[in-house]
A = this chain, B = another copy of it.
Amino acid sequence: MKLALIGYGAVGRAVAVLLERYRRRFPFRIVAIHTARHGTAYDPRGLGLEPVFGPPAASVREFLERARAHVMVELTPLNPLTGEPAISHIRTAFELGLHVVTANKGPLAHAYASLADQARRAGVQFRFESTVLDGAPVFNLVRHTLPGVRILGFTGVLNSTTTVVIETMRRGLTMEEGIEAARNMGITEADPGYDLDGWDAAAKTAALANVLMEARVTPLAVDTKGIRRLTPERLAELASKGKTVRLVSRARRTGSAVRLRVRAEVLPENHMLAAVGGTSNLLLLHTDLMGTIGTVCLKPGVEQTAYGILSDVADLARIAS
């Protein structure tokens, strides 16, 4: 499989490192990279870890036409309010008959049904395991290990920054110091407001609902409140009662609709959702035949996001072969 990357930040570089280190396990090559900042690089024999960038291609279409890859890997920075420019890049790739793997939750949160439909008509695959829980199996779990199961709802701790901010404030420090702690861990969105106000969690909630529950919603349909009103004093008071707070995403079917909510929930310390600390994430799926099962991802880093992308590429290589 030949890959064309759009975007080459921390995740893109981690993908390149994994491919270099595990050639036997993942016989894939990066043959082209397109970035806004560095320009564009091509090498049909495979770009190394230090690609040499030339002037940028005039458009994503021109880039993909020249790249002659099988898979476009979409890794551009996200505008969570629109899902662009990733959605447009993905549409272009489908038009050119390429499979798409993305780590961007925006396209799922804003346009999943239409993108999945376009992929189906084009006879290509659309994969996105790294968009929630940093590459831990969620979408592929449902796709490959739960035949005949219907997802009735889900509950999750999906945003790490708010967990780190809450843990920091619980130790008596300020919200600003919590944000700083999250930033030092490299997990904050460019604008931490997206995390604190619940937008990141809402986008992930909408993405999960669209893919797993055919919800056809956008993040605006998620009833969202963030953690802005939390204070160290409130958390200390809760701690004295053996309680804490997590930003929790919830989805459930009500008749033909799907209700989605993101809230700072007060939980007993020994609750499974409260046991998710630091950068760890947990998603519980409520199903008709398999009860409630979940996936937990402990302290993921950029390597795990990169692995999630390769697991998607490996899966579609298996299907294509």
Contacts and interface: CB of A to CB of B under 8 A. Distances in A.
What are the 4 closest A-B residue pairs judged by CB atoms, nearest first? A25-B148, A137-B145, A147-B314, A144-B144
Contacts of A298: 272, 284, 291-294
A308 B287 CA distance: 13
A194 interface: no
Given A296-B296, A298-B294, A311 B145 contact: yes
Given A272-B272, A294-B295, A296-B272, A148 B22 contact: yes
Nearest to A129: B145
Interface string A241-276: 000100000000000000000000000011110111
Nearest to A307: B289
The residue among A140, A290, A292 with the most chain B CB atoms within 10 A of its own CB is A290
Interface residues of A, number: 48
Interface in A108-146: 135-137, 140-141, 144-146
A81 interface: no
Contacts of A307: 149, 289-290
Contacts of A274: 270, 275
Contacts of A144: 140, 144-145
Given A147-B311, A290-B308, 9 more contacts: A22-B148, A137-B146, A140-B145, A149-B307, A282-B296, A289-B307, A291-B304, A292-B297, A295-B295
A304 to B, nearest CB: 5
B315 A147 contact: yes
7 contacts: A25-B148, A136-B293, A137-B141, A137-B293, A270-B270, A291-B299, A293-B296
A291 B303 contact: yes
Contacts of A212: none
Given A26-B148, A141-B145, A274-B275, A296 B294 contact: yes
A37 interface: no
Contacts of A311: 145-148, 290
Nearest to A147: B314
